[in-house]
């Protein structure tokens, strides 16, 4: 990715500016810690769409603040890192714009206190994520993976929008804090199951749970800072955030419990198996992210204080160590040019700062004491043992997943640096301090919080649990030594299991290759997309024949069928055609119209056909004049003139009518008769019903006093209905300019 | 087309058509006419000129590109609608000023409605003319 050797200067102000913005936001959010740790919340609201009851409402409580600090804090470090990582990249301006926009959208998402506002930011993160995955847009694979993520999370977002609207209507308010204030009352609503399923679809696609998991490893096509930020620390947790946000109102039922627990556990175990299977370090980390998301989702399925405390802790732990490790892998890539686990070795002394960060973050990920990861894991075990229905199975699954993750952590964080058996990898580029700072700061934070968990206990964990349960007393203590209990034994078992997995990881990896033969949703996705394309091509070639005759046949048959169907279904009022007022002039007019029409259908010369149509047009204009609609008549006449001019120009290019076989076309005759007959019937029906003169009377009386005009038609056009006229004129201009462009295109094609 | 009679006739007819189109535009509020009709008549004036003397001559006579005329017309129409906001009224509320109005005389009415109609005139005029010129040149 990096075109040139990374330097600490990078792109100068273009890189430092956004970093400073992120840092300022981080500091600003830190200022809310006293309010939030006191159990309060800060909120703002500006009316946005008052008709629909939608406000631009934001609220900072424990859960929001935890996320906001993670987003802005990790954002600062990642932006600093990316500036050096992409040194010399000519499109860095674009990149930093996308990344900064993403950060702001993500902050909006976690602070939003309105369901619709939350949805808007949710979509913004989807779009910026799409742009960032597809950043290397000259690679077909990047584009495909970006589209896959966009379609999948976008489809989920639509489901979420439907769910949000249903929820808002069911609760009578779109303000999230007001929905939550109603407690679990929403669960008695008849639409609750539908709401829950729709919200699940949105959250589980965004957070890449099985069976929607396949987009996340593919999203690693993005540059490494993006993977660290979006696809491990923040965006993929948006789904988790949504579930956590709605947890107080929606949890507790069987559907909630079983869906989240089962999907979470399956995702966690499946992902940790696949993580060990990978040889690319970044891919391995991608799968461990899936495992973490699975664990978080599973914890949210529960209600117990242990599970909620574990959720809050694990959320923070995971963001710290996973972002650090992604940046470490980025450093390895930048320094050596490879991310393959078997090619990397002996780097501990060459890249000391990166090695230090890797070791600290890796041990936190492995769940070793005294790191925060250990506390997170203990709490997770405690949370699982609290589950009423099947604690044993859950604990065994979690044990398996954690053991595997320990092995993966060793492969990623220890082996490339310290393993004696690995070949020494030559280092091409030095790592500037800006790229070492990110992983070191994150890893050291994980260590400090592990040794002094009290720093997190009341500042972030307890307020988050308050957001989740509504009761701060549910918070459990974060401590390294919780006494001799079952979670401790499970931890010890994890270490043993993880050690064994690491010792035999090469063998295991070969065995796990059989997982590749499982039904692969990624390939199914490609087939699905290909089938859509095939269908679209088949449909287009059927509909868009490129023959004017076909288009006109379709248009007029549709009109005829619509009118005939209406007449058949709704019936006709009694028709009372009156011939009393018919004068010889009217009869002559009818004769003119009929003869023009007849001439147009039988003539063998185009110019004669055009002239005959002109006769029809002028006949219609005469009708308007007889029945006193001079404006319409003038317009009709002018349009007739223009049509003759335009057609005469085009006609020079058309083949002569004489070259077509002169035969009767029954299909066209049926369509013509259908349109003519049905329009006549409908017109007679309209004339047979009494005319509603209310509008006419209004315009007649209002035209002069209100709009100072006596020509009612024109007054309607330019005053009463000026907006409509403006729209029509805009359409005329746009159509003309489009046609001109098409005509010019034609010339380009010829020359 | 190289018809001397047509070319000679066009000089007078075009000028008359364009003059008449402006007349139709201005009388539109009280008598048959208006921006749409005016624009159509005006464009036929130039189209006739283009048929008789060629589009190059017609373009030179028009000076501005017809697409530009159409866009300016659209902008004037939109501006006339937006200007209602200056007077605290709803979008596209007509604003009227009667110049030199006295107790008995109504005065000369000037209004955003007229500006709107001028915009419509230019948009229709430019669109039709641009399309016809392009067709004449490309086909």
For residue B94, the chain A residue with the least C-alpha distance is A719
pLDDT at residue B108 greater than cutoff 60: yes
Contact between chains at B116 and A718 (C-beta distance less than 8 A): yes
Contact between chains at A642 and B128 (C-beta distance less than 8 A): yes
- 3-class DSSP state of A347: coil
- 3-class DSSP state of B99: strand
Distance from CA of B97 to the nearest CA of A (A): 11
pLDDT at residue B23 greater than cutoff 50: yes
> Which of B27, B110, B113 to mutate: most A Cβ within 10 Å?
B113
Tokens of A22: 């992120």
Those residues of chain A whose CB sits closer than 8 Å to some CB in chain B are: 630-631, 634-635, 638-639, 641-642, 645-646, 649-650, 652-653, 707-711, 713-715, 717-719, 722-723, 725-726, 729-730, 732-733, 735-737, 739-740, 743-744, 746-747
For residue A675, is it within any domain?
A: no
Is the distance from CB of A501 to CB of A276 less than 8 angstroms?
yes
Predicted local distance difference test score (pLDDT) of residue A734:
94
How many residue pairs bridge chain A and chain B with CB atoms within 8 Å of each other? 143
Predicted local distance difference test score (pLDDT) of residue B28:
83
Given CA atoms A206, A212, A213, A217 in this order, what sign does their dihedral have?
negative
Distance from CA of B107 to the nearest CA of A (A): 12
Give backbone dihedrals phi and psi of A523, rounded to 5 degrees, phi first: -70, -35
Contact between chains at B127 and A736 (C-beta distance less than 8 A): yes
Q: Which of A639, A714, A744 sits opposite B34 (nearest CB)?
A: A714
Whole-complex ipTM: 0.91
Q: Which residue stretches of chain A have pLDDT < 50?
A: 1-2
Which of A333, A319, A238 is CA-nearest to residue A282? A333
Is the distance from CB of A426 to CB of A336 less than 8 angstroms?
yes
Residues of B in contact with A715 (CB under 8 A): 29
Q: Which has the higher per-residue pLDDT, B96 or B117?
A: B117
Predicted local distance difference test score (pLDDT) of residue B1:
59
For residue B47, the chain A residue with the least C-alpha distance is A645
Is the distance from CB of A237 to CB of A293 less than 8 angstroms?
yes
DSSP codes of every residue in A458-512: IIIIHHHHHHHHS-GGGPPP--S---SSHHHHHHHHHHHHHHHHHHTHHHHHHHH
Say yes or no: B21 contacts chain A, CB-CB below 8 A: no
Tokens of A81: 């890192």
Predicted local distance difference test score (pLDDT) of residue A94:
92
φ/ψ region of A628 (left if φ > 0, alpha if ψ in -120 to 50, else beta) reads: left
Is the distance from CB of A729 to CB of B120 less than 8 angstroms?
yes
Predicted local distance difference test score (pLDDT) of residue A2:
43
Give the structural domain span for A296: 254-317+336-503
Residues of B in contact with A743 (CB under 8 A): 134-135, 137-139
- Domain count of the fold of chain A: 1
For residue A295, is it within any domain?
A: yes
Distance CA B136, CA A263 (A): 67
Residues of A in contact with B78 (CB under 8 A): 726
pLDDT at residue B101 greater than cutoff 70: yes
Burial of A187 (0-12, 13-18, 19+ CB in 10 A): middle
DSSP codes of every residue in A562-631: HHHHHHHHH--PPP----TT--HHHHHHHHHHHHHHHHHHH-S-HHHHHHHHHHHHHHHHHHHHHTT-HH
């Amino acid at each position: 990715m990096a075109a040139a050797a990374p330097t600490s200067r990078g792109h100068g102000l273009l890189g430092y500016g956004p970093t400073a913005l992120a840092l300022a936001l981080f500091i600003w959010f830190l200022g809310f810690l006293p309010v939030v740790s006191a159990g309060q919340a800060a909120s703002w609201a500006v009316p946005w769409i008052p008709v629909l009851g939608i406000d631009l409402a934001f609220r900072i409580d424990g859960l929001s603040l935890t996320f906001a600090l993670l987003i802005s804090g990790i954002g600062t470090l990642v932006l600093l890192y990316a500036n050096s990582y992409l040194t010399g990249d000519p499109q860095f301006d674009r990149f930093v714009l996308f990344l900064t926009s993403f950060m702001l959208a993500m902050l909006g998402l976690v602070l939003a206190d309105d369901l619709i506002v939350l949805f808007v930011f949710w979509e913004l993160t989807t779009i910026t994520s799409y742009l960032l995955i597809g950043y290397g847009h000259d690679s077909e694979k990047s584009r495909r993976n970006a589209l896959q993520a966009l379609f999948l999370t976008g489809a989920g977002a639509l489901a979420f929008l439907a769910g949000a609207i249903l929820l808002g209507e069911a609760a009578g308010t779109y303000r999230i804090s007001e929905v939550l204030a109603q407690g679990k009352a929403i669960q008695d609503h008849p639409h609750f199951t539908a709401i829950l399923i729709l919200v699940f679809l949105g959250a589980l696609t965004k957070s890449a749970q099985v069976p929607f998991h396949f987009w996340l490893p593919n999203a690693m096509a993005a540059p490494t800072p993006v993977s660290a930020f979006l696809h491990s620390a923040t965006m993929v947790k948006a789904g988790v955030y949504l579930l956590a946000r709605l947890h107080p109102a929606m949890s507790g039922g069987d559907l909630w419990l079983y869906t989240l627990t089962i999907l979470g556990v399956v995702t966690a175990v499946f992902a940790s198996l696949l993580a060990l299977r990978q040889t690319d370090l970044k891919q391995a980390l991608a799968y461990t992210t899936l495992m973490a998301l699975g664990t978080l989702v599973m914890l949210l399925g529960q209600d117990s204080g242990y599970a909620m405390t574990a959720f809050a802790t694990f959320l923070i732990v995971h963001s710290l160590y996973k972002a650090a490790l992604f940046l470490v892998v980025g450093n390895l890539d930048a320094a050596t040019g490879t991310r393959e686990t078997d090619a990397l070795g002996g780097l501990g002394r060459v890249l000391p700062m990166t090695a230090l960060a890797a070791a600290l973050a890796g041990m936190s990920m492995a769940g070793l004491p005294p790191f925060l990861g250990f506390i997170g894991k203990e709490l997770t075990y405690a949370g699982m043992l609290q589950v009423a229905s099947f604690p044993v199975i859950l604990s065994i699954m979690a044990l398996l997943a954690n053991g595997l993750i320990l092995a993966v952590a060793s492969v990623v964080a220890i082996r490339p640096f310290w393993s004696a058996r690995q070949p020494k990898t030559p280092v091409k580029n030095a790592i500037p301090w800006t790229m070492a700072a990110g992983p070191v700061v994150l890893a050291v934070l994980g260590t400090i919080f592990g040794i002094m968990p009290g720093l997190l206990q009341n500042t972030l964990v307890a307020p988050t649990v308050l957001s989740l349960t509504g009761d701060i007393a549910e918070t459990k203590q974060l401590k390294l030594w919780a006494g001799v209990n079952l979670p401790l034994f499970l931890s010890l078992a994890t270490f043993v299991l993880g050690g064994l997995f690491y010792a035999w990881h090469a063998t295991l990896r070969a065995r796990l290759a059989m997982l590749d033969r499982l039904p692969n949703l990624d390939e199914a996705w490609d087939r699905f997309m290909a089938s859509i394309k095939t269908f679209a091509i088949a449909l287009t070639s059927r509909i868009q024949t490129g023959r004017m005759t076909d288009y006109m046949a379709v248009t007029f048959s549709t009109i005829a069928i619509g009118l005939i169907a209406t007449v058949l279904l709704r019936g006709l009022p009694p028709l009372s055609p009156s011939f009393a007022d018919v004068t010889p002039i009217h009869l002559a007019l009818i004769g003119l119209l009929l003869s023009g029409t007849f001439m147009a259908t039988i003539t063998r010369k185009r110019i004669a056909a055009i002239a005959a149509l002109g006769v029809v047009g002028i006949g219609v204009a005469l009708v308007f004049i007889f029945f006193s609609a001079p404006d319409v008549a003038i317009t009709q006449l002018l349009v007739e003139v223009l049509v003759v001019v335009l057609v005469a120009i085009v006609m020079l290019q058309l083949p002569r009518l004489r070259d077509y076989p002169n035969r009767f076309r029954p299909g066209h005759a049926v369509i013509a008769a259908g349109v003519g007959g049905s329009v006549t019937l409908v017109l007679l029906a309209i004339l047979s019903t009494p005319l509603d003169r209310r509008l006419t009377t209004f315009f007649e009386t209002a035209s002069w006093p209100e709009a100072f005009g006596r020509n009612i038609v024109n007054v309607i056009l330019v005053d009463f209905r000026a907006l409509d006229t403006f729209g029509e004129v805009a359409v005329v201009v746009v159509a003309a300019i489009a046609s001109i462009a098409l005509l010019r295109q034609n010339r380009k094609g010829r020359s | 087309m190289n018809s001397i009679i047509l070319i000679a006739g066009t000089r007078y007819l075009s000028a008359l058509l364009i003059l008449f189109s402006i007349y139709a535009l201005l009388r539109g509020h009280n008598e048959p006419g208006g921006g749409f009709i005016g624009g159509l008549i005006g464009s036929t004036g130039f189209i006739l000129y283009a048929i008789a003397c060629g589009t190059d001559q017609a373009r030179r006579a028009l000076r501005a590109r017809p697409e530009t005329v159409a866009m300016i017309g659209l902008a004037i129409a939109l501006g006339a609608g937006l200007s209602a906001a200056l007077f605290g009224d709803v979008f596209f509320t007509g604003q009227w000023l009667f110049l030199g109005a006295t107790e008995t005389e109504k005065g000369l009415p000037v209004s955003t409605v007229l500006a709107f109609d001028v915009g419509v005139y230019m948009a229709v005029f430019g669109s039709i003319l641009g399309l016809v010129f392009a067709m004449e040149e490309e086909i």
